[in-house]
Amino acid sequence: MSLRILHVLDHSLPLHSGYSFRTLAILREQRALGWQTVHLTTPKQGFGTSLQEEVDGWIFHRTPNAGGNGLLSQMRLTAARLREVVLMMKPDLIHAHSPVLNALPSLWVGRRQRLPVVYEMRASWEDAAVDHGTTQEGSLRYRVSRSLESLALRHADQVTTICEGLRGDIAIRGVPPERITVIPNAVDVSLFRLDTEPDAELRRSLGLNGATVVGFAGSFYGYEGLDLLIEAARQMLPRYPQLRVLLVGGGPQESNLRAQAVAAGLQERVIFTGRVPHADVQRYYQLIDVLAYPRLPIRLTELVTPLKPLEAMAQGRMLVASDVGGHRELIRHGQTGFLFRAGDAAALAGALDDVLVRRPFWPKLREQARRFVEVERTWASSVARYREVYRRALARHDRSPSI
């Protein structure tokens, strides 16, 4: 019998997010390895009474949610539904993905059903709460959240995470190194092409003909530092009168960014596309000369590696990024992208200027960036690391199904 893994997820398709796309990549590659995957989402998927949903050929077990549930109530609902799915599907192990609201119910059910539990921490719950504005670093809620996260990490049979920054954070919580494995973010390079001609009609419709375009594609959160990009563009205008900023996506900071563009007199030069279908994002990428990732220096960005720069490298796009820890772990300065001092609009303007004057070297840089993801950041190579993680988790329970 092949290995059967029950994944416990915060949310999944049809909701679109970096979380959902990473999950889908993991599931595809695990199926390619011959493993069976079962998928359960928690009340965070949203309101509903359905017990099961099929999306794009994937079956997701759902946790009914009538709304109005506090965190403890959500965990109880997750645990009850998880027990039902375990008894029905009889998995070999439970693989709980962030946040800790998924890990604790998985540990409760896993211990009662004598199943190994792997916990994948994609970001720390307490730091995510700071970013969302629901707490402050060092507050009582922050300390309680961190204690619960640490408890789950110490009790899981194995822990996985997405980058070295988070590995270090997990280790200082008392988790032995042999129980921590990095499963890095990656890309499916087959979905991205090099040297595709930009969509001329889309370029014309956005008013970008003859323009030098810098831009960003993603969610407009405060920590992304997009206000620095608009300020950098203002500083660059004397040297680049045809400069345009293309912002693809949307999010909490959109109204503030629009107001900033107006106040700076850049309302005609900063173009907001709104959210676009995920399948169309590459068409917008191709219109941007230099992508910018000006993330601000906070705990979350110092510890966590983002996915967007990898997608840019897969397309051979020129990119500049702030020198926060998550970017330094991904980007090789001068080879696959360029780093600048985080939080400094003038440094960002200088980095953009530096890349724009290097156009003769762009073909070589594009090839190097693409080669990096082809060799080091494919989902097949990342997901293959789960084999040893699962073997170790099962061994702690004296189990050894075919892996």
Which residue ranges in the chain fall short of pLDDT 70? 1, 125-135, 401-402
CATH topology match: 4-186+378-396 vs 189-377: yes
CA distance 337 to 208: 24
Residues 6+ apart with CB under 8 A from 201: none
Say what the pLDDT of residue 191 is: 84
According to the model, what pLDDT value does residue 133 have? 61
Q: Which fold has domain 4-186+378-396?
A: Rossmann fold (3.40.50)
Place of tokens 């959902």: 20
Percentages helix, strand, coil for the chain, rounded to the nearest 5?
45, 20, 35
What pLDDT is stored for residue 190 in this prediction? 86
Under a CB-based contact definition with an 8 Å cutoff, are residues 47 and 14 in contact?
A: no
pLDDT at residue 278, rounded to an integer? 80
Helix axis angle, 71-89 to 100-113, nearest 10°: 40
What does the domain layout of the chain look like in residue ranges? 4-186+378-396, 189-377
pTM listed for this prediction: 0.87
Amino acid at the residue 340: F
- The pLDDT assigned to 309 comes to 95
Q: Quick one: 189-377 is in which CATH superfamily?
A: Glycogen Phosphorylase B; (3.40.50.2000)
Position 40 scores a pLDDT of 98
- CA 363, CA 297: separation in Å to the nearest integer? 31
CA 140, distance to chain mean position in Å, is 27
Collapsing DSSP to helix, strand or coil, 29 comes out as helix
Alpha-carbon distance of 276 to 207, in angstroms, equals 17
Residue 197 CB coordination number (10 Å): 6
Contact 49, 77 (CB under 8 A): no
